[in-house]
Structure 1
Amino acid sequence: MKFFIAIIGFILFSTVSHAQQLDWEAKEKRTIGGKWIMSNHFNEFVTDQHFTGKFRIIFFGYTFCPDVCPTSLSNISEAMDELEGMEEKFQPLFISVDPERDTTTVLREYVKNFHPSIIGLTGPAKLIKRTADLFKVKYSKVPGTNDKDEHYLIDHSAGVYFMSPTGQFIRKFAHGLSGKDMAKRIKEILDENR
Protein backbone atom coordinates (compact mmCIF):
# COMPACT_ATOMS: atom_id res chain seq x y z
CA MET A 1 0.00 0.00 0.00
CA LYS A 2 2.85 2.43 0.88
CA PHE A 3 4.47 1.63 -2.47
CA PHE A 4 1.19 2.39 -4.29
CA ILE A 5 0.84 5.73 -2.43
CA ALA A 6 4.45 6.58 -3.26
CA ILE A 7 3.83 5.91 -6.98
CA ILE A 8 0.64 8.03 -6.98
CA GLY A 9 2.54 10.81 -5.20
CA PHE A 10 5.36 10.66 -7.75
CA ILE A 11 2.89 10.79 -10.68
CA LEU A 12 1.07 13.77 -9.15
CA PHE A 13 4.37 15.56 -8.45
CA SER A 14 5.60 14.88 -11.99
CA THR A 15 2.32 16.09 -13.51
CA VAL A 16 2.32 19.29 -11.44
CA SER A 17 6.01 19.83 -12.15
CA HIS A 18 5.45 19.37 -15.90
CA ALA A 19 2.44 21.71 -15.86
CA GLN A 20 4.50 24.33 -14.04
CA GLN A 21 7.26 23.93 -16.64
CA LEU A 22 4.77 24.42 -19.50
CA ASP A 23 3.30 27.44 -17.71
CA TRP A 24 6.79 28.89 -17.26
CA GLU A 25 7.57 28.33 -20.93
CA ALA A 26 4.32 30.08 -21.91
CA LYS A 27 5.16 33.05 -19.67
CA GLU A 28 8.72 33.08 -20.99
CA LYS A 29 7.45 33.22 -24.56
CA ARG A 30 5.20 36.17 -23.75
CA THR A 31 7.84 38.13 -21.90
CA ILE A 32 10.92 37.99 -24.18
CA GLY A 33 11.48 41.23 -26.06
CA GLY A 34 9.86 44.62 -25.81
CA LYS A 35 10.46 48.27 -26.54
CA TRP A 36 14.06 49.49 -26.64
CA ILE A 37 16.20 52.35 -27.95
CA MET A 38 19.89 52.22 -28.89
CA SER A 39 22.45 53.68 -31.30
CA ASN A 40 23.25 51.84 -34.51
CA HIS A 41 26.78 51.57 -35.86
CA PHE A 42 26.21 54.76 -37.87
CA ASN A 43 25.61 56.62 -34.58
CA GLU A 44 21.88 57.05 -35.27
CA PHE A 45 19.25 56.44 -32.61
CA VAL A 46 17.01 53.51 -33.46
CA THR A 47 14.22 51.72 -31.63
CA ASP A 48 12.62 48.31 -31.99
CA GLN A 49 9.97 50.09 -34.11
CA HIS A 50 12.52 50.88 -36.83
CA PHE A 51 12.50 47.19 -37.73
CA THR A 52 8.74 46.67 -37.80
CA GLY A 53 7.81 44.57 -40.81
CA LYS A 54 11.00 42.49 -40.69
CA PHE A 55 11.81 39.28 -38.85
CA ARG A 56 14.67 40.05 -36.48
CA ILE A 57 17.60 37.76 -35.80
CA ILE A 58 19.16 39.14 -32.61
CA PHE A 59 22.42 38.24 -30.92
CA PHE A 60 23.97 39.84 -27.80
CA GLY A 61 27.75 39.87 -27.53
CA TYR A 62 30.82 42.08 -27.81
CA THR A 63 33.54 42.77 -30.37
CA PHE A 64 36.48 41.66 -28.18
CA CYS A 65 34.88 38.22 -27.70
CA PRO A 66 37.46 35.62 -28.73
CA ASP A 67 35.21 32.81 -29.91
CA VAL A 68 31.47 32.72 -29.15
CA CYS A 69 30.54 36.00 -30.86
CA PRO A 70 32.48 35.53 -34.11
CA THR A 71 31.09 32.00 -34.38
CA SER A 72 27.50 33.14 -33.79
CA LEU A 73 27.78 36.06 -36.20
CA SER A 74 29.33 33.77 -38.83
CA ASN A 75 26.41 31.37 -38.36
CA ILE A 76 23.92 34.24 -38.70
CA SER A 77 25.77 35.36 -41.86
CA GLU A 78 25.56 31.84 -43.26
CA ALA A 79 21.84 31.72 -42.43
CA MET A 80 21.31 35.00 -44.30
CA ASP A 81 23.12 33.53 -47.32
CA GLU A 82 20.89 30.44 -47.10
CA LEU A 83 17.82 32.69 -47.05
CA GLU A 84 18.79 34.08 -50.44
CA GLY A 85 15.88 35.68 -52.19
CA MET A 86 14.16 36.42 -48.88
CA GLU A 87 16.84 38.64 -47.29
CA GLU A 88 14.60 41.72 -47.32
CA LYS A 89 12.27 39.99 -44.84
CA PHE A 90 15.01 39.71 -42.18
CA GLN A 91 17.09 42.09 -40.11
CA PRO A 92 20.03 40.65 -38.16
CA LEU A 93 21.03 42.75 -35.12
CA PHE A 94 24.20 42.48 -33.03
CA ILE A 95 23.64 44.14 -29.64
CA SER A 96 26.82 44.89 -27.70
CA VAL A 97 27.00 44.22 -23.97
CA ASP A 98 30.32 46.12 -23.74
CA PRO A 99 29.58 49.84 -24.03
CA GLU A 100 33.02 50.79 -22.66
CA ARG A 101 34.86 49.45 -25.70
CA ASP A 102 32.15 48.97 -28.34
CA THR A 103 31.69 52.47 -29.66
CA THR A 104 29.68 52.97 -32.83
CA THR A 105 32.96 53.24 -34.79
CA VAL A 106 34.29 49.96 -33.36
CA LEU A 107 30.98 48.23 -34.12
CA ARG A 108 30.90 49.63 -37.68
CA GLU A 109 34.33 48.16 -38.41
CA TYR A 110 33.52 44.87 -36.67
CA VAL A 111 30.26 44.04 -38.45
CA LYS A 112 32.01 44.52 -41.82
CA ASN A 113 33.58 41.10 -41.16
CA PHE A 114 30.17 39.42 -41.43
CA HIS A 115 27.01 39.67 -43.52
CA PRO A 116 26.47 43.20 -44.91
CA SER A 117 22.93 43.36 -43.51
CA ILE A 118 24.01 42.97 -39.86
CA ILE A 119 23.49 46.14 -37.84
CA GLY A 120 25.54 46.71 -34.69
CA LEU A 121 23.78 48.36 -31.74
CA THR A 122 25.19 49.95 -28.60
CA GLY A 123 24.39 52.69 -26.12
CA PRO A 124 24.85 53.76 -22.52
CA ALA A 125 25.28 50.94 -20.01
CA LYS A 126 21.79 51.49 -18.54
CA LEU A 127 20.08 51.17 -21.93
CA ILE A 128 22.05 48.03 -22.76
CA LYS A 129 21.14 46.51 -19.39
CA ARG A 130 17.47 47.35 -19.90
CA THR A 131 17.47 45.84 -23.39
CA ALA A 132 19.34 42.73 -22.23
CA ASP A 133 16.83 42.32 -19.40
CA LEU A 134 13.97 42.40 -21.93
CA PHE A 135 15.54 39.37 -23.60
CA LYS A 136 16.56 37.70 -20.33
CA VAL A 137 20.22 37.98 -21.40
CA LYS A 138 22.79 37.69 -18.62
CA TYR A 139 26.26 39.21 -18.90
CA SER A 140 29.08 40.27 -16.59
CA LYS A 141 32.80 40.89 -16.61
CA VAL A 142 34.77 37.74 -15.92
CA PRO A 143 35.50 37.61 -12.15
CA GLY A 144 39.01 38.63 -11.23
CA THR A 145 39.36 40.94 -14.20
CA ASN A 146 41.28 44.07 -13.33
CA ASP A 147 39.06 47.10 -14.00
CA LYS A 148 42.06 48.88 -15.55
CA ASP A 149 42.79 45.99 -17.92
CA GLU A 150 41.36 46.84 -21.32
CA HIS A 151 41.56 43.19 -22.41
CA TYR A 152 38.85 41.96 -20.03
CA LEU A 153 36.39 39.25 -21.05
CA ILE A 154 32.63 39.20 -20.58
CA ASP A 155 30.54 36.13 -19.79
CA HIS A 156 27.24 36.41 -21.64
CA SER A 157 24.23 34.45 -22.84
CA ALA A 158 24.89 33.08 -26.30
CA GLY A 159 21.55 32.19 -27.90
CA VAL A 160 20.18 33.76 -31.07
CA TYR A 161 16.68 35.25 -30.83
CA PHE A 162 14.24 35.00 -33.72
CA MET A 163 11.53 37.64 -33.47
CA SER A 164 8.44 38.31 -35.60
CA PRO A 165 7.94 41.40 -37.79
CA THR A 166 5.95 42.91 -34.89
CA GLY A 167 8.71 42.17 -32.37
CA GLN A 168 7.12 39.09 -30.79
CA PHE A 169 9.39 36.28 -29.64
CA ILE A 170 9.25 33.22 -31.89
CA ARG A 171 12.21 31.03 -30.96
CA LYS A 172 15.67 31.03 -29.42
CA PHE A 173 18.34 29.13 -31.33
CA ALA A 174 21.10 27.53 -29.27
CA HIS A 175 24.69 28.69 -29.63
CA GLY A 176 26.56 26.58 -32.14
CA LEU A 177 23.59 25.93 -34.42
CA SER A 178 24.98 26.12 -37.94
CA GLY A 179 23.74 28.78 -40.32
CA LYS A 180 22.29 26.11 -42.62
CA ASP A 181 20.30 24.58 -39.76
CA MET A 182 19.19 28.01 -38.55
CA ALA A 183 17.93 28.92 -42.02
CA LYS A 184 16.21 25.53 -42.33
CA ARG A 185 14.37 26.06 -39.04
CA ILE A 186 13.43 29.61 -40.00
CA LYS A 187 11.97 28.36 -43.30
CA GLU A 188 10.05 25.65 -41.44
CA ILE A 189 8.60 28.26 -39.07
CA LEU A 190 7.55 30.45 -41.99
CA ASP A 191 5.97 27.46 -43.77
CA GLU A 192 4.06 26.46 -40.62
CA ASN A 193 2.60 29.94 -40.28
CA ARG A 194 1.48 30.57 -43.85
Structure 2
Amino acid sequence: MKTFLAIIGLLLFSTVSYAGNLEWEAKEKSNERTIGGRWMMSNHFNEFVTDADYFGKFQIIFFGYTFCPDVCPTSLSNIAEAMDELEGMKEEFQPLFISVDPERDTPTVLREYVRNFHPSIIGLTGPANLIKRTADLFKVKYSKVPASDEKDEHYLIDHSAGVYFMSPGGRFIRKFAHGLPGKDMAKRIKEIIAESKGQ
Protein backbone atom coordinates (compact mmCIF):
# COMPACT_ATOMS: atom_id res chain seq x y z
CA MET A 1 0.00 0.00 0.00
CA LYS A 2 2.81 2.38 0.93
CA THR A 3 4.56 1.57 -2.35
CA PHE A 4 1.36 2.27 -4.28
CA LEU A 5 0.89 5.63 -2.54
CA ALA A 6 4.53 6.51 -3.19
CA ILE A 7 4.10 5.80 -6.91
CA ILE A 8 0.93 7.89 -7.05
CA GLY A 9 2.71 10.71 -5.23
CA LEU A 10 5.62 10.57 -7.67
CA LEU A 11 3.29 10.64 -10.67
CA LEU A 12 1.39 13.60 -9.26
CA PHE A 13 4.62 15.46 -8.53
CA SER A 14 5.97 14.75 -12.03
CA THR A 15 2.71 15.86 -13.65
CA VAL A 16 2.61 19.09 -11.68
CA SER A 17 6.27 19.81 -12.43
CA TYR A 18 5.75 19.20 -16.16
CA ALA A 19 2.64 21.37 -16.23
CA GLY A 20 4.50 24.10 -14.40
CA ASN A 21 7.11 24.23 -17.13
CA LEU A 22 4.60 24.49 -19.95
CA GLU A 23 1.58 26.22 -18.49
CA TRP A 24 0.97 29.61 -16.95
CA GLU A 25 -1.83 29.58 -14.43
CA ALA A 26 -4.77 31.74 -15.50
CA LYS A 27 -5.72 34.14 -12.73
CA GLU A 28 -9.26 34.61 -13.97
CA LYS A 29 -12.70 33.39 -12.96
CA SER A 30 -13.03 29.63 -12.95
CA ASN A 31 -15.57 29.55 -15.80
CA GLU A 32 -13.14 31.49 -18.03
CA ARG A 33 -10.56 28.73 -17.69
CA THR A 34 -12.58 26.67 -20.15
CA ILE A 35 -11.68 29.11 -22.95
CA GLY A 36 -9.68 27.47 -25.72
CA GLY A 37 -9.19 23.85 -26.72
CA ARG A 38 -8.31 21.66 -29.67
CA TRP A 39 -8.93 23.15 -33.10
CA MET A 40 -7.89 22.66 -36.72
CA MET A 41 -7.81 25.07 -39.67
CA SER A 42 -5.75 26.19 -42.66
CA ASN A 43 -3.09 28.87 -42.36
CA HIS A 44 -2.60 31.62 -44.91
CA PHE A 45 -0.22 29.38 -46.86
CA ASN A 46 -3.10 26.91 -47.26
CA GLU A 47 -1.42 24.42 -44.93
CA PHE A 48 -3.44 22.30 -42.51
CA VAL A 49 -2.62 23.26 -38.91
CA THR A 50 -3.92 22.56 -35.43
CA ASP A 51 -3.53 24.30 -32.08
CA ALA A 52 -0.66 21.91 -31.30
CA ASP A 53 1.42 23.42 -34.12
CA TYR A 54 1.81 26.54 -32.00
CA PHE A 55 2.60 24.85 -28.71
CA GLY A 56 5.84 26.07 -27.21
CA LYS A 57 4.96 29.71 -27.85
CA PHE A 58 2.57 32.12 -26.21
CA GLN A 59 -0.32 32.73 -28.60
CA ILE A 60 -1.97 36.11 -29.10
CA ILE A 61 -5.28 35.36 -30.81
CA PHE A 62 -7.85 37.64 -32.41
CA PHE A 63 -11.05 36.72 -34.29
CA GLY A 64 -12.21 38.98 -37.11
CA TYR A 65 -12.38 39.33 -40.88
CA THR A 66 -10.56 41.21 -43.61
CA PHE A 67 -13.54 43.33 -44.73
CA CYS A 68 -13.95 44.67 -41.20
CA PRO A 69 -13.94 48.49 -41.42
CA ASP A 70 -12.54 49.45 -38.02
CA VAL A 71 -12.43 46.95 -35.13
CA CYS A 72 -10.13 44.44 -36.84
CA PRO A 73 -7.58 46.90 -38.27
CA THR A 74 -7.38 48.58 -34.86
CA SER A 75 -6.87 45.31 -33.01
CA LEU A 76 -4.28 43.98 -35.46
CA SER A 77 -2.42 47.30 -35.33
CA ASN A 78 -2.35 47.04 -31.54
CA ILE A 79 -1.08 43.46 -31.74
CA ALA A 80 1.61 44.58 -34.18
CA GLU A 81 2.64 47.35 -31.81
CA ALA A 82 2.75 44.87 -28.93
CA MET A 83 5.02 42.58 -30.96
CA ASP A 84 7.37 45.48 -31.62
CA GLU A 85 7.36 46.31 -27.90
CA LEU A 86 8.28 42.69 -27.15
CA GLU A 87 11.53 43.11 -29.07
CA GLY A 88 13.99 40.50 -27.90
CA MET A 89 11.14 38.19 -26.87
CA LYS A 90 9.31 37.96 -30.19
CA GLU A 91 10.39 34.37 -30.80
CA GLU A 92 8.37 33.37 -27.74
CA PHE A 93 5.09 34.60 -29.25
CA GLN A 94 2.82 33.69 -32.14
CA PRO A 95 0.02 36.10 -33.07
CA LEU A 96 -2.92 34.44 -34.87
CA PHE A 97 -5.75 36.12 -36.78
CA ILE A 98 -8.72 33.74 -37.08
CA SER A 99 -11.25 34.68 -39.76
CA VAL A 100 -14.97 34.40 -39.10
CA ASP A 101 -15.70 35.04 -42.78
CA PRO A 102 -14.70 31.89 -44.72
CA GLU A 103 -16.75 32.95 -47.75
CA ARG A 104 -14.36 35.81 -48.56
CA ASP A 105 -11.26 35.19 -46.47
CA THR A 106 -9.35 32.65 -48.50
CA PRO A 107 -5.76 31.83 -47.52
CA THR A 108 -4.52 34.16 -50.27
CA VAL A 109 -6.71 37.05 -49.08
CA LEU A 110 -5.58 36.51 -45.50
CA ARG A 111 -1.92 36.35 -46.49
CA GLU A 112 -2.10 39.69 -48.26
CA TYR A 113 -4.11 41.22 -45.43
CA VAL A 114 -1.97 40.29 -42.42
CA ARG A 115 1.24 41.40 -44.12
CA ASN A 116 -0.08 44.97 -43.78
CA PHE A 117 0.27 44.73 -40.00
CA HIS A 118 3.17 42.54 -38.86
CA PRO A 119 5.23 39.78 -40.51
CA SER A 120 4.74 37.41 -37.58
CA ILE A 121 0.92 37.38 -37.74
CA ILE A 122 -0.53 34.21 -39.24
CA GLY A 123 -4.03 34.21 -40.73
CA LEU A 124 -6.24 31.16 -40.20
CA THR A 125 -9.40 30.12 -42.02
CA GLY A 126 -11.26 26.98 -43.02
CA PRO A 127 -14.71 25.48 -43.55
CA ALA A 128 -17.53 27.32 -41.78
CA ASN A 129 -18.16 24.43 -39.37
CA LEU A 130 -14.54 24.37 -38.16
CA ILE A 131 -14.49 28.12 -37.70
CA LYS A 132 -17.74 27.93 -35.74
CA ARG A 133 -16.34 25.19 -33.52
CA THR A 134 -13.16 27.16 -32.85
CA ALA A 135 -15.10 30.34 -32.13
CA ASP A 136 -17.27 28.42 -29.68
CA LEU A 137 -14.17 27.19 -27.86
CA PHE A 138 -13.21 30.83 -27.27
CA LYS A 139 -16.79 31.93 -26.57
CA VAL A 140 -16.66 34.21 -29.61
CA LYS A 141 -19.98 35.27 -31.09
CA TYR A 142 -20.37 36.40 -34.69
CA SER A 143 -23.15 36.81 -37.24
CA LYS A 144 -23.57 38.24 -40.70
CA VAL A 145 -25.38 41.57 -40.79
CA PRO A 146 -28.42 41.22 -43.10
CA ALA A 147 -27.91 43.19 -46.30
CA SER A 148 -30.62 44.80 -48.40
CA ASP A 149 -29.36 42.78 -51.33
CA GLU A 150 -28.67 39.09 -50.65
CA LYS A 151 -26.03 39.14 -53.39
CA ASP A 152 -24.19 42.08 -51.82
CA GLU A 153 -20.56 41.01 -51.37
CA HIS A 154 -19.82 43.93 -49.07
CA TYR A 155 -21.77 42.61 -46.10
CA LEU A 156 -20.55 43.20 -42.56
CA ILE A 157 -20.15 40.76 -39.68
CA ASP A 158 -20.88 41.54 -36.05
CA HIS A 159 -18.33 39.76 -33.90
CA SER A 160 -16.87 39.67 -30.43
CA ALA A 161 -13.81 41.84 -29.95
CA GLY A 162 -10.91 41.27 -27.62
CA VAL A 163 -7.48 39.66 -27.80
CA TYR A 164 -6.82 36.27 -26.22
CA PHE A 165 -3.50 35.54 -24.56
CA MET A 166 -2.76 31.82 -24.34
CA SER A 167 0.05 29.85 -22.69
CA PRO A 168 2.69 27.85 -24.60
CA GLY A 169 0.56 24.80 -23.87
CA GLY A 170 -2.63 26.37 -25.20
CA ARG A 171 -4.26 27.32 -21.90
CA PHE A 172 -6.16 30.56 -21.51
CA ILE A 173 -4.32 33.22 -19.53
CA ARG A 174 -6.40 36.33 -20.05
CA LYS A 175 -8.38 38.41 -22.52
CA PHE A 176 -7.33 41.95 -23.37
CA ALA A 177 -10.13 44.41 -24.05
CA HIS A 178 -10.61 45.77 -27.55
CA GLY A 179 -8.77 49.03 -28.04
CA LEU A 180 -6.02 48.33 -25.53
CA PRO A 181 -2.91 50.03 -26.98
CA GLY A 182 -0.10 47.71 -28.01
CA LYS A 183 2.34 49.24 -25.53
CA ASP A 184 -0.05 48.52 -22.66
CA MET A 185 -0.69 45.01 -23.96
CA ALA A 186 3.03 44.26 -24.12
CA LYS A 187 3.56 45.72 -20.64
CA ARG A 188 0.84 43.50 -19.18
CA ILE A 189 2.21 40.44 -21.00
CA LYS A 190 5.66 41.03 -19.53
CA GLU A 191 4.13 41.43 -16.07
CA ILE A 192 2.18 38.18 -16.42
CA ILE A 193 5.27 36.25 -17.52
CA ALA A 194 7.34 37.74 -14.71
CA GLU A 195 4.66 36.87 -12.14
CA SER A 196 4.45 33.33 -13.50
CA LYS A 197 8.20 32.91 -13.12
CA GLY A 198 8.04 34.27 -9.60
CA GLN A 199 10.13 37.32 -10.32
TM-score interval, smaller chain: 0.7 to 0.9
In structure 2, runs of 5+ residues without a counterpart are 1-27
Structure 2 residue aligned with 1:74 = 77
Matches for 1:175-194 after TM superposition, within 5 Å: 175-194=178-197
TM-score by length of 2: 0.84
In structure 1, runs of 5+ residues without a counterpart are 1-23
CA contact (8 A) 2:62 2:163 kept: yes
CA contact (8 A) 2:147 2:155 kept: no
Report how far residue 67 of structure 1 moved.
Answer: 0.3
Task: Report the Cα distance in structure 1 between the residues aligned to 2:144 and 2:116, rounded to whole angstroms.
Answer: 25
Structure 1 residue identity aligned to 2:87: E
- CA offsets 1:92-115 (integer angstroms, 9 cap, x no match): 000000000000000010011011
CA contact (8 A) 1:48 1:167 kept: yes
Report how far residue 144 of structure 1 moved.
Answer: 4.2
What is the aligned residue count? 170
Check if 1:133 corresponds to 2:136. Answer: yes
3-state SS, counterpart of residue 62 of structure 2: strand
- CA offsets 1:148-177 (integer angstroms, 9 cap, x no match): 110000000010000000000000000000
Report how far residue 147 of structure 1 moved.
Answer: 2.8
3-state SS, counterpart of residue 178 of structure 2: coil
Task: Report the Cα distance in structure 2 between the residues aligned to 1:70 and 1:142, rounded to whole angstroms.
Answer: 19
- CA offsets 1:88-137 (integer angstroms, 9 cap, x no match): 00000000000000000000100110110000000000000000000000
Matches for 1:30-109 after TM superposition, within 5 Å: 31-109=34-112
Structure 2 residue aligned with 1:10 = none
CA contact (8 A) 1:94 1:121 kept: yes
Structure 2 residue aligned with 1:116 = 119
Task: Report the Cα distance in structure 1 between the residues aligned to 2:149 and 2:166, rounded to whole angstroms.
Answer: 36
CA contact (8 A) 1:145 1:152 kept: no
Q: Which is higher, the Rg of structure 1 or of structure 2?
A: 1
> Which of structure 1's runs of 4+ aligned residues deviate more than 6 A?
none
3-state SS, counterpart of residue 70 of structure 1: helix
Task: Report the Cα distance in structure 2 between the residues aligned to 1:193 and 1:25, rounded to whole angstroms.
Answer: 17
CA contact (8 A) 2:146 2:155 kept: no
TM-score by length of 1: 0.86
Give % identity: 83
Report how far residue 192 of structure 1 moved.
Answer: 0.3
- CA offsets 1:43-98 (integer angstroms, 9 cap, x no match): 00000000010000000000000000000000000000000000000000000000
CA contact (8 A) 1:146 1:152 kept: no
Task: Report the Cα distance in structure 2 between the residues aligned to 1:93 and 1:146, rounded to whole angstroms.
Answer: 32
Structure 2 residue identity aligned to 1:86: M
Report how far residue 142 of structure 1 moved.
Answer: 1.2
